[in-house]
Amino acid sequence: MAEIHFTSHLRNLVPGAPFRVPGATVGEALQCLLGQEPQVRGYVLDDQGNLRKHVCIFVDGERLKHETALSRQIDPAAKLYVMQALSGG
């Protein structure tokens, strides 16, 4: 099962992290987790179920392209890191 980690800000919403969940893609793994921890859904996904603009995901150390992150195939032992991208000036 994939392991999902959150940055410290989001970890306040899900203090039990990291989580081990099944899924063949990043999106499937996240949906499984969000079914267990629905309070974090609005911070990760928008109303249409897309990755929020300021959220980025790393899989096994590789930053995924925002547009294709949820459809990315993952290994059952993958480590996913969900974080809020920083912006500003």
Considering the domain boundaries, does residue 57 fall inside one? yes
Determine the average pLDDT of the residues in 79-83: 93
Q: Which domain holds residue 10?
A: 2-84
| Confidence at 89, pLDDT banded by 50, 70, 90 | low
Pairing of strands 79-84, 62-63: unpaired
Number of domains in the chain: 1
| pLDDT score at 86 | 65
Q: What is the tens place of the pLDDT at every residue in 29-78?
A: 999 999 988 988 988 999 999 999 889 999 999 999 999 999 999 999 99
Q: CATH number of the domain that 65 lies in?
A: 3.10.20.30
For residue 22, pLDDT beyond 60: yes
pLDDT, position 63? 95
In a domain, 89, yes or no: no
Give the span between the Cα atoms of 89 and 63, in whole angstroms.
Answer: 22
